[in-house]
Amino acid sequence: MEVRQRDSQSPFTTKDGSTIRSLLDLANAPVAKQSLAEAEIPAGGSTERHYHRESEEFYYLLEGRGVMEISGEEREVGPGDAILIPAGAWHTIRAVEPLRFLCCCAPPYSHEDTYFE
């Protein structure tokens, strides 16, 4: 059984500029097909617009408010919103209030699968 405690995972900054804690991923568990992380973005901050060639992502917002942009379409988002980001879709999220959300990737997140303009 693999169980990871959130507070035992050190936060780090991803290639897109968000601060995440890997809850279950290739670095800390025998994960093969997905990853789970908690991300935080301070008010006024955002991720750098990017896409993943391989990974499909889900964001699930826990706290805060923001604006999600996927392939040119923008929408306000907040707690309880679940967002699908298809593989290959350009995307960014901007925090109007401090944001905390879960990020699930399949296949697992990797810096090498993050592309910028």
Structural domain for 60, as ranges? 12-116
Residue keyed to tokens 């959130």: 6
Q: According to the model, what pLDDT value does residue 17 have?
A: 82
Q: According to the model, what pLDDT value does residue 72 have?
A: 97
What phi and psi, each to the nearest 5 degrees, are found at residue 113? -100, 20
Any domain includes 97: yes
Residue 101 class from Cβ within 10 Å (0-12 exposed, 13-18 middle, 19+ buried)? Answer: buried
**Looking at residue 77, which CATH number applies to its domain?**
2.60.120.10
Any domain includes 32: yes
* pTM, to two decimals: 0.91
Q: Residues, the chain, total?
A: 117
Count up the domains in the chain and report the number.
Answer: 1
Any domain includes 4: no
Q: In the structure, what pLDDT confidence band is assigned to residue 13 with cuts at 50, 70 and 90?
A: confident
Residues 6+ away with beta carbon under 8 Å from 85:
52, 56, 57, 58, 59, 70, 91
Any domain includes 16: yes
Any domain includes 77: yes
